[in-house]
């Protein structure tokens, strides 16, 4: 029996049980059967309230209602980079798996990428008559005031939302998802917009071949809702107390630019991603074989190959977009997710494992039944 069918049947039998308890309770109330009868009535009422709260809890899964993404029109290939840097297509492909990246034009800004990205999701929310109550934007390349989240609200006339930006570098999308999940579970919110957007081209030193070849710009977003069928099964984020010097921005010639100890970052990434995934799976007693697709942060194909080997997951379960998108930081997971659902690779009901690692160091892992 499929997972969603099982859930539907469970709900049905639960609502039948609640219905019969309700009827019995009503009967007892009208019979006015004295002290023992009242006690029995209270017992049934208690059972009813328990069942009702259980049913409400089941309705509290954070589910993905819709997805969207945006990439700037301008593309830079490895061959284009060969013209401005002492590098080669062969070196970049072999060491990273990257062939192309999209870069903002003069018309784009981090905010405009986020706004363009959201248009189809705002339409869906309006069509379904759902009020968006939170807008959470993951980004580490925007220093705007007001936040991008508030600018998205202004643009689409979303009033009264809990709206703010979060900076957890490349792990930002999973951090934002974690916060949205808390809002859905603890504040009973029903419709939340989560956006991952970054313009790494703004903080790259285009003369540094060791970093310039790795990154791209883009944006991806998800519209989340509360569901009793499928959704987030487990999520955990964390950070390290000793990694902040290895990957960071520094002020150079009046500009904020990225510096990185590539080899060290590589080793930490493999280890921390492995720990994040294996801890989440074991803490929630989830068999790794139940995972249909890994949707990882897209940093380097060699990081991901080593990770799959350590987790004993076959590489064909990896969703990969880094060849054409490169590393788009907080945007890379929603971009990969949108691309794989549009191509038909990821289907409704599939179990997904999101994994991210970034500057901080930060990391995050999430398991979601799509």
Dihedral sign (CA 167, 169, 173, 177):
negative
- Among 358, 360, 366, 368, the residue binding ligand ACO under the rule CB under 6 A is 358
Q: By CB under 6 A, is residue 267 in contact with ligand ACO? A: no
Distance (Å, rounded) from C-alpha 292 to C-alpha 306? Answer: 18
Q: By CB under 6 A, is residue 275 in contact with ligand ACO? A: no
Label residue 90 left, alpha or beta by phi (over 0 means left) and psi (-120 to 50 means alpha). Answer: alpha
46 token code pair = 């208690």
Owner of token pair 């960071």: 248
Q: By CB under 6 A, is residue 323 in contact with ligand ACO? A: no
Name the DSSP letter for residue 290: G
**Within positions 194 to 223, which residues make up the interface with ligand ACO, using CB under 6 A?**
209-210, 213-214
Instruction: Report in angstroms how near the CB of residue 325 gets to ligand ACO at its nearest.
Output: 12
> Could you tell me how many helices (H) and strands (E) the chain has, helices first?
12, 13
54 token code pair = 């259980």
170 catalytic per annotation: yes
**Within positions 291 to 310, which residues make up the interface with ligand ACO, using CB under 6 A?**
297, 299-300
The nearer residue to ligand ACO, 96 or 324, going by C-beta atoms, is: 96
Distance (Å, rounded) from C-alpha 337 to C-alpha 342? Answer: 9
214 token code pair = 């790795």
**Within positions 111 to 150, which residues make up the interface with ligand ACO, using CB under 6 A?**
none
- Closest CB to ligand ACO: residue number: 262
Owner of token pair 């109330």: 29
Task: Catalytic residue, from 297, 300, 324, 325: name it.
Answer: 297
| Number of residues lying near ligand ACO (CB under 6 A) | 23
* Start-to-end CA span in the chain (Å): 17
327 catalytic per annotation: yes
- Judged by CB under 6 A, the stretch of 67-75, 89-97, 184-192, 288-296 that binds ligand ACO is 89-97
The nearer residue to ligand ACO, 190 or 208, going by C-beta atoms, is: 208
Distance (Å, rounded) from C-alpha 143 to C-alpha 256? Answer: 11
Enumerate the active-site residues: 170, 297, 327
Instruction: Name the residues that contact ligand ACO, by CB under 6 A.
Output: 87, 91-92, 95-96, 170, 209-210, 213-214, 247, 260, 262-263, 265-266, 269, 297, 299-300, 327, 357-358
């Amino acid at each position: 029996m499929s997972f969603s069918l099982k859930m539907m049947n469970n709900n049905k039998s639960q609502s039948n049980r609640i219905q019969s308890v309700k009827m019995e309770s009503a009967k007892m109330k009208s019979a006015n059967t004295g002290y023992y009868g009242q006690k029995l009535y209270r017992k049934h009422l208690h059972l009813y309230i328990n069942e009702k709260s259980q049913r409400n809890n089941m309705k509290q899964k954070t589910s993905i209602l819709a997805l969207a993404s945006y990439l700037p029109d301008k593309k830079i290939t490895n061959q284009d980079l060969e013209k401005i840097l002492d590098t080669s297509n062969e070196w970049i492909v072999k060491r990273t798996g990257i062939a192309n990246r999209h870069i903002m034009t003069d018309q784009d800004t981090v905010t405009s990428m986020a706004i363009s990205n959201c248009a189809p999701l705002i339409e869906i929310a309006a069509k379904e008559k759902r009020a968006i109550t939170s807008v959470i934007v993951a980004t580490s390349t925007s220093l705007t005031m007001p936040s991008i989240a508030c600018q998205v609200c202004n643009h689409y006339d979303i009033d009264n939302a809990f709206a703010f930006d979060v900076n957890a570098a490349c792990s930002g999308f999973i951090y934002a998802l974690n916060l949205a999940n808390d809002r859905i579970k603890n504040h009973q919110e029903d419709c939340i917009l989560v956006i991952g957007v970054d313009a790494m081209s703004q903080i790259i030193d285009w003369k540094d071949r060791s970093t310039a070849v790795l990154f791209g710009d883009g944006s991806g977003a998800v519209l989340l809702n509360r569901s009793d069928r499928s959704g987030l099964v487990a999520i955990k984020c964390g950070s390290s107390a000793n990694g902040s010097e290895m990957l960071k921005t520094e002020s150079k010639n009046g500009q904020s630019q990225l510096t990185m100890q590539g080899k060290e970052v590589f080793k930490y990434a493999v280890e921390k991603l492995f720990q994040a995934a294996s801890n989440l799976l074991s803490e929630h007693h989830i068999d790794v074989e139940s995972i249909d697709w890994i949707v990882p942060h897209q940093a380097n194909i060699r990081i991901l190959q080593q990770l799959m080997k350590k987790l004993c997951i076959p590489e064909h379960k990896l969703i990969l977009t880094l060849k054409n998108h490169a590393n788009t930081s907080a945007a890379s997971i929603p971009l990969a997710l949108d691309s794989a659902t549009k191509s038909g690779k990821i289907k409704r009901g599939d179990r997904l494992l999101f994994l991210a690692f970034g500057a901080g160091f930060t990391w995050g892992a999430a398991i979601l039944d799509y």
